[in-house]
Amino acid sequence: MTQPPDLAASFLRLHRPGQPLLLPNPWDLGSARVLASLGFAALATTSSGFAATLGLPDGSVTRDQAIGHAALIAGATPLPVSADLENGFADDPEGVAGTVAAAIDAGLAGCSIEDFTGRADDPVYEMSHAVARVAAAAEAAHAGPRGLVLTARAENHLHGRDDLADTITRLQRYAEAGADVVYAPGLTSAADIGEVVRSAGRPVNVLAIAGAPSVAELAELGVARISVGGAFAFAALGALAEAARELRDQGTLGYLRLSAVGREAARGAFSG
């Protein structure tokens, strides 16, 4: 599908603090079309969900695979799509900028770049280097006539670094470097999320995970976007595992109830 040239601007306008954009994460073309048929205004890819379709753990796909997958999702519906591009598939700022340029060419409206190094012994980039990576990404995202909404992610709280002050400083520095949206996945405390919203200076995305506030509570905190990461993809895999165990262990067909729901959703989404 042909995407309009102002897709990034349209996507950014959907980020309204206090009226958060619900940004679900499809993992393949079919799930993208189902979610679009349910009335969502935009979509985002999930690195873990996509990796699972290949039988791989999160962090195992290549840049070319991720960009190709994102292009498939972007072409599946007319909706703006933001891609989870992990750490930009590069340590150096130039490599990150190249990944963002590839995302623009893929027809995306946005992308996210993490400050996760991929190394268990030193999981988060040193501050100045992390900021330089965001600055290079922002320059690439905003340089041409077809821009990209850049989301900069501070990964502290996914990697055992529960330092809210450092997280806020990082998000502020990333905003100053040109990020359009900021995101600290792993936060669940309403007080912490509220502090991030008040301090960040940009629209804030929150990951909907166990223990996080409800959508209504996040709206009251001023959150501008809520995403689910790989949760929908793994919910689908969970339903598959439960159905298979029921058939194998009990010999019953209770799973057909949920199958009927999925079949009806697919019929509505794929008929056009």
The one-digit pLDDT tens for each residue of the chain (272 residues) are 455 558 999 999 999 999 999 999 999 999 999 999 999 999 999 999 999 999 999 999 999 999 999 999 999 999 999 999 999 999 999 999 999 999 999 999 999 999 999 999 999 999 999 999 999 999 999 998 889 999 999 999 999 999 999 999 999 999 999 999 999 999 999 999 999 999 999 999 999 999 999 999 999 999 999 999 999 999 999 999 999 999 999 999 999 999 999 999 999 999 86
Q: How high is the pLDDT of residue 57?
A: 97
* 268, two tokens: 């509505």
Read off the pTM.
Answer: 0.96
* 37, two tokens: 């048929």
- ∠ at Cα 99 (168, 91), nearest 5°? 60
Angle between the N-to-C axes of helices 127-142 and 164-176, in degrees from 0 to 180, rounded to the nearest 10 = 40
Write down all domains in the chain, each with its CATH number in brackets: 7-229 (3.20.20.60)
DSSP state of 229: T
Quickly list DSSP for 88-117: TT-SSHHHHHHHHHHHHHTT-SEEEEE-B-
Q: How high is the pLDDT of residue 115?
A: 98
Q: How high is the pLDDT of residue 271?
A: 86
* 244, two tokens: 């298979």
Torsional class of 251: left (φ above 0), alpha (ψ -120 to 50), beta (otherwise): left
For residue 84, give the nearest of 233, 190, 193 by alpha carbon: 233
